[in-house]
Structure 1
Amino acid sequence: MSENRRLRVLSIAHPAVSRDVGRRRYYPLATRDDLDVHLVVPATWHQFGRTTTADPPDDPGVTVHVMPIRLPKAGPMGWYLHFYPGLRKLIRRLDPDVIHLWEEPWSVVALQACLLKGRAALVMEVDQNILKTLPPPFESIRRHVLRNTAHVLSRSPDATAVVRARGYTGPVSPIGYGVDLDTFRPAAEPRRSGTSALRLGYVGRLVEEKGLDDALDAMTRARADITLSILGEGPYEPRLRERIAALGLTERVDMRGWASPAEVARFMHGLDALILLTRTTKAVREQFGRVIVEAQSCGVPVIGSTCGAIPDVIGDGGWVVPESDPATLATTLDSIAGAPPERAEKSAGGRGNVLARFTYDAVAQALATSWIAAAAETNSREKSHKNGSSGKTTVSHSYAGNE
């Protein structure tokens, strides 16, 4: 790479099909004069029974390439079979220094990028946090991609353990999800504590693994006056409604469908605490829990289970209870209901947690640091090979990704 050329990065990320979900984290990069960032997103995306059309490609900080994909929802692995027919031509035209994938290393698009990357350093951003042997050919794809990866951005220690177990030996940096602070911000007039029932809320998919049954059972056990508002949709909704009726909670639990981010923020403003009680199964372990940081950004503390990354993400902004333990949850709810000062303390802790770890600026910094480190390491290896040296250059501590 020329000394005076900006580092050119090609980021491939299906979550960035939408600005609200994944594209805004690139915006802080607009202030940097050392990076030339290009983003590839699918023209349409299929997930959880919904189809999303890509937002227009006029975003600050990044040049967006909206491209068609093949095999968008084919086979048992769903969207992980997708790839971009036009990717080879784009890579040849851009000649990137770094190719970054916000995709799992066993996905077909990761293999495609690995085979086409040329001189570029490969950076993988991983979420998968359950170690299991994948069916052919996905296990072979994962091992091949990880052998050719220069840097990993990991959502959690469990996700790091998975790539390590599958042969990756290079540097790893932590990365969280960013929060739109303009949308998810404290209410202008905070909800008065202690003047009515303790109001709990849930936002997300309605599936059995999310532990909403445990919340309902805890409400029947608790002495305090507690209500629950549920915002979301999913296959477990009919069973959940039956359970609510069977427990006599119809007057204390309300449900509504999906909402826009702004509507979600307004929903959260009416809560005393958000719940995320995910249960660990062979197929499910909470990878992050984006709704945790959205609630905390609104000044709402979170009651979470011990599943996966939930305790680490909550930090000082809430309470952690054992999975599948409605009795302990009921005791916790009674304690919280009678302690408005504690709720205020957790609210402040949650907001501080977000500002310190989960802003878009923090995520953009983690991205940029990993890209620069990967390019430097790859360039050093190439120079060593040209000079006949087999030694490996060590990445400096400044690239550890903990800034």
Structure 2
Amino acid sequence: MRILVVSHTYIVDLNCEKLRSLAQLEPGTEVVVVVPKRWRPGGVQKGTIEPRSWQEGSFRVVPVSNWSENHQGLLCFGAELVTLLQQFRPQVIQVEQGSRSLAYAQLIVLNRLLKLNAKLLFFTWWNLPYKLKPPVSWLEQFNLRYTSGIISGNQDGAEILRHHGYEGKIQVMPQLGVDEARFCPQPQHQLAAQLGIQPDQFVVGYVGRFVPEKGLLTLCDALAEIHPEFNWKWLLVGRGDLRPTLQEKAQKAGIADRLIWVESVPHAEIPNYLNLMHTLVLPSETSQDFKTLTSAGWKEQFGHVLIEAMACRVPVIGSDSGEIPYVIDDSGLTFPEGDAAALRDRLTQLMAQPELTRSLAQKGYDRAMLHYTNLALAKQQLAFYRQLE
């Protein structure tokens, strides 16, 4: 099977692991990934990325000249794409820029003009209800009309596309998997000592942005009411503008001495910090005006740190925002978003019941290995392609 994947996501080599695994699943499978030749993920101020062309066996990354260097929806490609399509003649074309992208419309048109007869798919993370006006609504309807299948990063995204009229096959799975060679159980005694964590302390962990929508203020409220009999620390790994507010709130609650701040950690070092934790908490909180269906707002699209923690055999606690409950399933604990009392109850359960902590750690690990490694996702993706034949 010849598979063409188009996305700015794969300008980062590390993000290609799932597709590299896909190319190795069966003899005769070839995967070519088209990425923009120039991309500015943070705008002009953040600089420009110019990805390299590289190949490993039947897997290949090809940078192609592009219009729009930092807008996913407006991204489209130059004439080299036509030559590549003529030479490679893919049987599956997957564009990972959402339902309203010009790149997907471009590939639909080229598929027809070049008579490739490839199956057409797109990937989307979008999980908030929305209304569209012409010409964007026309673009989405055109894209949906010629779509053979959709891969949605979450359940909400799939339901929204059904509401917008799509009746074909939809597979729900994340765009990127977890690297079980990096994210795995590994003791961190030296790092714990460096951070002042004692062996008898229960470490409540968070990894991500320090912003209001991540629910850190709720987590602070929950920890502030933990019974004094429990000996715990709160390890926060990340960065963001909420830190001063959170520090002040913890100070007023009398728990500031229990906080450990670790900022600007390279992704490759995140497993070290996850392995210090007795639980990883993702207390995300949804925000949007659903009555007007404006695009403003946010809902947790997946929560990739959850599967990274699970792969490290760290039990997870998450709110019920967006995709979190589906990711955790019965392999961790969930609570109603914004409910500090409920979150305190979940934390206390783990602190008071070591057996429960160990049981959930193993269940989470098993779930991550079965469903969320790059190889597991590659197998799901290939199986979905087979359904479209």
Aligned match of 1:371: 385
Aligned match of 1:285: 299
Match of 1:204 among 195, 208, 216: 208
Does residue 217 of structure 2 align to residue 213 of structure 1? yes
Match of 2:66 among 69, 78, 88: 69
TM-score (norm 2): 0.86
Does residue 299 of structure 2 align to residue 301 of structure 1? no
Q: Distance in 2 between matches of 1:242 and 1:87?
A: 53
Aligned length: 363
Q: Distance in 2 between matches of 1:84 and 1:232?
A: 35
Does residue 121 of structure 2 align to residue 117 of structure 1? no
Deviation for aligned residue 1:179: 1.0
Partners of 2:29 and 2:58 within 8 A in 1: no
Secondary structure of 1:363's aligned partner: helix
Deviation for aligned residue 1:285: 1.7
Aligned match of 1:182: 181
Aligned match of 1:385: none
Partners of 2:317 and 2:346 within 8 A in 1: no
Partners of 2:180 and 2:311 within 8 A in 1: yes
Deviation for aligned residue 1:148: 0.7
Closer/same/farther in 2, CA of residues 115 and 56 from structure 1, 3 Å limit: closer
Q: Distance in 2 between matches of 1:260 and 1:55?
A: 21
| 1:43-192 equivalences in 2 (<5 Å) | 43-47=37-41, 52-54=49-51, 57-73=54-70, 78-85=71-78, 86-118=80-112, 119-134=117-132, 136-176=134-174, 177-188=176-187
Deviation for aligned residue 1:347: 0.3
Secondary structure of 1:168's aligned partner: coil
Aligned match of 1:243: 249
RMSD of Structure 2 on Structure 1 (CA): 2.4
User: Letter of the aligned partner of 1:111 in structure 2?
Assistant: A
| 1:371-390 equivalences in 2 (<5 Å) | 371-374=385-388, 376=389
Deviation for aligned residue 1:53: 4.9
User: Letter of the aligned partner of 1:290 in structure 2?
Assistant: H
Deviation for aligned residue 1:42: 2.6
Partners of 1:27 and 1:60 within 8 A in 2: no
Q: Distance in 2 between matches of 1:234 and 1:67?
A: 34
Q: Distance in 2 between matches of 1:290 and 1:24?
A: 15
Tell me which moved more, 311-320 or 349-358.
Answer: 311-320
Which stretches in structure 2 are left out of the alignment for 5+ residues?
A: 289-296
1:99-128 CA-partner distances (Å, limit 9, x unpaired): 111221112222222222223220122221
Q: Distance in 2 between matches of 1:261 and 1:117?
A: 38
Partners of 1:12 and 1:40 within 8 A in 2: yes
Which stretches in structure 1 are left out of the alignment for 5+ residues?
A: 1-6, 377-403
| 1:228-377 equivalences in 2 (<5 Å) | 228-282=234-288, 283-374=297-388, 376=389
Q: Distance in 2 between matches of 1:185 and 1:344?
A: 15
Q: Distance in 2 between matches of 1:304 and 1:237?
A: 21
User: Letter of the aligned partner of 2:110 in structure 1?
Assistant: L
Q: Distance in 2 between matches of 1:125 and 1:267?
A: 31
Deviation for aligned residue 1:273: 0.6
User: Letter of the aligned partner of 1:109 in structure 2?
Assistant: A
Deviation for aligned residue 1:229: 1.5
Does residue 18 of structure 2 align to residue 25 of structure 1? yes
User: Letter of the aligned partner of 2:66 in structure 1?
Assistant: I
Closer/same/farther in 2, CA of residues 310 and 364 from structure 1, 3 Å limit: same
Does residue 2 of structure 2 align to residue 8 of structure 1? yes
Aligned match of 1:394: none
Secondary structure of 1:351's aligned partner: helix
Tell me which moved more, 79-88 or 215-224.
Answer: 79-88
